[in-house]
Amino acid sequence: MMRQYDLVERVKRYDPDADEDLLNRAYVYAMKAHGSQRRASGDPYFSHPLEVAAILTELRVDDQTIAAAMLHDTIEDTETTRGDIAKRFGENIASLVEGLTKIKKLDLVSKKAAQAENLRKLLLAVAADARVLLVKLADRLHNMRTLHYVPPDKRARIAEETLEIYAPLAGRIGMQEMRDELEDICFRTLMPDAYAMVMARLEAFRARSGKIIELIENDLREKLIANNITGEVKGREKKLYSIWRKMERKSVSFEQLSDILGFRVMVGNIPDCYRVLGIVHNAWPFVPGRFKDYISTPKQNDYRSIHTTVVGPKHQRVELQIRTRAMDEVAEYGIAAHALYKDKSVEERGDILGKEARAYQWLRRTIETLAEGDNPEEFLEHTKLELFLDQVFCFTPKGLLIALPRSATPIDFAYAVHTDVGNHAVGCRINGRNAPLTSELRNGDEVEILTSEAQVPPPAWEGLVVTGKARSSIRRATREAVRKQFAGLGKRIIERAFARMSKPFAEDKLTIAVPRLARPSIDDVYAAVGRGELHSADVIKAVFPDFKEDTAKAPASPQGQGWFGVQGAGEVKFKVPGQEGGSGALPIRGLSDDLPVRFAPGGGPVPGERIVGILTPGEGITIYPIQSPSLSAFDEEPWRWLDVRWDVEEGERRRFPARIIVSVINEPGSLAEVARMLAETDANIDNIEMRAKTKDFREMVLDIEVWNIKHLTTLLTDLNARPMIANVERVLG
């Protein structure tokens, strides 16, 4: 374990003005606070915060961050309080430590909501102080380095979380070296066979290539000297996980990869970067399509460098990165590098570190967007989307640069410009030509978005976009549109209920009763009734507390049949035609006579969703889901509407019919794959009809049986998530 004076010496080496007394006090306090606590490895617990502090000295962070690293587990794992930290070390360090305190005793990987809440808390703390993220990543890195001491059942879950969240987060703030190490440990833990295979291939490549790295390094140095350029050359092999990821993404073998070797040339200034590029391209042929200039157009995490691939000695393809030393600091240390250069001149720092880090600006903007998430699971999903992959750079007609992930569409572009632009987008022009909104954008595209105030984003857009902001905005707009639909439906239901009770409908009376219904506004009451969360009878009682329904005065239908209103106390079960025996009873309440009851044809309701009964004299009652388009045919016949509800006992195992349409890619095995997925979700198939939609797609109309609306919703969500399925929708009778 590192000694006290070793840690202080490390900090003083890069920061001679560091507060030595602060570091000593934090060391002693944390050691005493953790006392005899032990880690899974058997080491004293204090060894962990000390190693986290040591990792941060490699990033050369300030003394307060080092102190916070030593104290970061004291509030959570000892009797120490925030007040104790503030009293002894000041508010600044207390805030840092508090921001690092995790949600207590949660299994963050097995419980997605808990994982998302922990991540939300972390990112909101980061918005206040970026140093929180540096300590958190160092904390995760040391935990991963000692992962082999963790029980095997937890090891994979921790590695999965690290690979999905923390490694990409390190990359997005520019800390590539830390990302590489985290990914390497996760790769070795989660996919040991693949790890061993790539390692064996890499060793075979080394044996074949001999001293190729040394040869190319020397060749590059000689070319720099010959052209009077002072610079440093470093060669390296591509990381194992990067090799595996590229093999998987492009479906190629190890031997087909062209960038196993990479070289970095670091020079003193930007003009020399472009001189080196010219020298290299004159000496060796470059590979078309493999040139990127991140100096003129930096990435969002502040990364700046020139990338090119050339065919070097021995016909070996070589990936080359050319940058200044200041740019290399940012590439290695990310936002941590800004502290190193904050007091230097523009010439010394290469004019890239004078303002707030672009990576930190990205983090702030991302957090602002994600903070609007409606639930923890969406927050987690959107965060993962925001962390992903490389970027393309596009322009607005006025020249504004918009950075987007690869595979982004004009819809993503529109939402990146402004949420309102995305919500009202109806078309686009790419480089002056009309193009579909589903087009994949490329570097340098000029994109003009065409809008209409009448447009609202279709829900299907959610499956087309790749950015978290676009997906979040589309979901929010869809929810608002659905809410308005339900509110309109709920209002009609309430109006009919008032009419049936021979009471005049007036919104002012209903507004007064809103608090009794535990809803914030009258629109929320309408929406709740439309969704089936609130019964129309409850609304009547809230407006008229003393009102009692007189069913004897119920008006007759035009055909002379009895009118059936809401019977709150009645619990009568009716037979479904074609289902004999007691097990065929349809558990619905709200009716008072033994009338024949059937489901709406071509897509009836399932338990858990709001239902309506439609009376047909002489034939009986048809049960429809409340959102069924067929109900519009009865708008002018309110006497036929029956307010009914399910009376299914919890735990009762009975399947109900539903109809869905699945649009799949036209290829062998598609039907078998859909059937397998339905079986996995415990759905039963009654009937299948195949339709030829287009040459590339087939449409399947499936009559299935499900347990309830939750089961059906889960099934639809699962099908929609499969790559071979273009669209899934439910059919309502």
| Residues annotated catalytic, as ranges | 76-77
CB 115 within 8 A of CB 380: yes
Three-state SS string across 589-639, please? Answer: ECCCCCCCEEECCCCCCCCCCCEEEEEECCCEEEEEECCCHHHHHHCCCHH
Burial 569-600 (b: 16+ CB within 10 A, else e): eeebebbbeeeeeeeebbbbbbbbeebebbbb
Q: For residue 65, what are the contacts with CB-CB under 8 A and spacing of at least 6?
A: 56, 96, 131, 134, 135
CB 331 within 8 A of CB 319: no
DSSP of 309-369 = EEE-GGG-EEEEEEEEHHHHHHHHHGGGHHHHHTTS-HHHHTTSSSSS-HHHHHHHHHHHH
Q: Write out the two tokens for 315.
A: 């016909």
Query: How long is the chain?
Result: 733
Q: For residue 8, what are the contacts with CB-CB under 8 A and spacing of at least 6?
A: 18, 20, 23, 24
d(CA 419, CA 401): 17
Closest CA to 4 of 47, 56, 40: 47
Is the Cα dihedral 123, 124, 130, 134 positive or negative? negative
CB 265 within 8 A of CB 232: yes
d(CA 38, CA 77): 11
d(CA 111, CA 714): 18
d(CA 318, CA 328): 19
d(CA 40, CA 222): 52
CB 151 within 8 A of CB 280: no
Three-state SS string across 35-97, please? Answer: CCCECCCCCECCHHHHHHHHHHHHHCCCHHHHHHHHHCCHHHHCCCCHHHHHHHHCHHHHHHH
Bridge-based pairing of strands 391-395 and 725-731 is unpaired
Is the Cα dihedral 415, 418, 419, 421 positive or negative? negative
Q: Write out the two tokens for 316.
A: 């070996």
Beta bridge mates, 581: none
CB 718 within 8 A of CB 677: yes
Matching residue, tokens 């999903």: 381
d(CA 501, CA 204): 85
Beta bridge mates, 614: 622, 641
Bridge-based pairing of strands 620-625 and 597-599 is parallel
CA atoms within 13 A on the CB side of 488: 7
Burial 124-142 (b: 16+ CB within 10 A, else e): ebbbebbbbbbbbbbbbbb
Q: Residue 61: left if φ>0, alpha if ψ -120 to 50, beta else—which one? A: beta
